[in-house]
Amino acid sequence: MRRLVLLAIGAALLISPSAGAAPAGQDAQRSEILRASIKKSIGLLDRAQFKFERQATCSSCHNQVDPMVAASALRGHGVMLNPVVYDHQLAATVEVLKLRHNYMLGHEVGGGAEVVVAAMLAGLAEVGYGADQQTDDAVVYLLAKQGQKGAWNAVAVRTPNGESAFDVTARAVRAVDAYAPPSLRKEADEAIGRARTWLLATPAGPDSLSRAFRLQGLVWAKAPRGSIAAAARDVASAQNQDGGWSQKPGLASDAFSTGEGLIALHRSGVKTSDPVYRRGLDYLLRTQASDGSWHVTAHALPIQPPIDSGFPYGRDQWISSWATAYAVTAMGYAL
């Protein structure tokens, strides 16, 4: 019953972009509150990125790719950014693509395979990185890795990431569409079409990640507007009474799933003035720690040696850093 009620509410809110619009003065005040919150977070993410990168051999979503996307979302909105950090994040991501050149050409599995390649390329697309030999090679690799039904499968499950094919497929679609060289445009469009068919035919699971990335995948695959709107209502229907989203039913709201849901809604065309979006922002503002971070408990099995980036919360630092990057991005869209 609760889900049906929320679905109806979400449908009504998302149909009317101007619903619940605040006066201009209140919007300006809200932007300043968001900006102050973001300033605390971005410095923390910057420091952790440098320390993590010195110890790691990969370009991680939680300490490099998504903090890079967050910084990009803030440009031009009055938030002081450290260009050295941003340029380093970008260079580190491109460098990892170069390091993976050989196994991509051999279509071998290694270090997360298409999961990591799709995430890196989608992140580079979000910040406007231009095509080059590395992105060409990565597209060839991703096209070879698409499943017969149209999805790209997760090969590494680190809860909540990689629990379904939706996040890998969405990012792969974004990557292939953004970086397919002219000689592969036909093959790229056919691959995106197969992914679109799979996304349209496959309902999201009960977890927030599936909902959020199915929505983004439909957007990036250029699905019919009605299907995108329905998927956006599905994301909105999972919003909890406190304004946040949970990773799975029965769990409490957290900043990872809340930021993830807001980003997906924004990319689908939902305005940041929409009451659903505003309640999500209110949740993030209310739950941010004084140092600018958000604490999210890790549920993933510890399959990798820990790397201490200096981000708070010990074993929980990777997903907490990721959640903080998502939260900053969602807030940045509202400035």
Domains of the chain and any CATH numbers: 2-333 (1.50.10.20)
* Residue predicted with more confidence, 137 or 236: 236
Segment 112-117 mean pLDDT: 76
Per-residue confidence at 190, pLDDT binned at 50, 70, 90? very high
Q: Residue 81 has what pLDDT?
A: 85
Average pLDDT over residues 63-74: 85
Give the span between the Cα atoms of 139 and 121, in whole angstroms: 9
**Greater model confidence, 305 or 254:** 254
Share the mean pLDDT of the chain. Answer: 85
Q: Residue 225: count other Cβ atoms within 10 Å of its Cβ.
A: 12
182 has a pLDDT exceeding 50: yes
Pairwise CA distance, residues 101 & 314, whole Å: 33
Let me know: does 299 contact 305? Beta carbons within 8 Å.
no
Percent pLDDT > 90 in the chain is 57
Lowest mean pLDDT among 13-22, 163-172, 231-240: 13-22
Q: Could you give the 3-state DSSP secondary structure of residue 253?
A: strand
Average pLDDT over residues 23-50: 85
pLDDT reported for residue 314: 86
**Average pLDDT estimate for 37-48:** 88
Cβ neighbours of residue 11 closer than 8 Å, sequence gap 6 or more: 233
Sign of CA dihedral 198, 204, 210, 212: positive
CA distances from 292 to 78, 261, 266, 295, 314 (A): 18, 20, 23, 10, 16
Give me the pLDDT at residue 53, please: 61
Highest mean predicted confidence (pLDDT) among 80-84, 196-200, 247-251: 196-200
The 10s digit of each residue's pLDDT in 238-268 is: 999 999 999 999 999 999 999 999 999 999 9
Q: Is the pLDDT at 6 greater than 50, yes or no? A: no
- Cis peptide bond prior to 302, omega within 30° of 0: no
253: phi then psi, degrees, rounded to nearest 5: -60, 150
Q: How far apart are CA 272 and CA 78, in angstroms?
A: 18
Mean pLDDT value of segment 57-65: 62
- Comparing 7-21, 91-105, 106-120, 260-274, the range with the smallest average pLDDT is 7-21
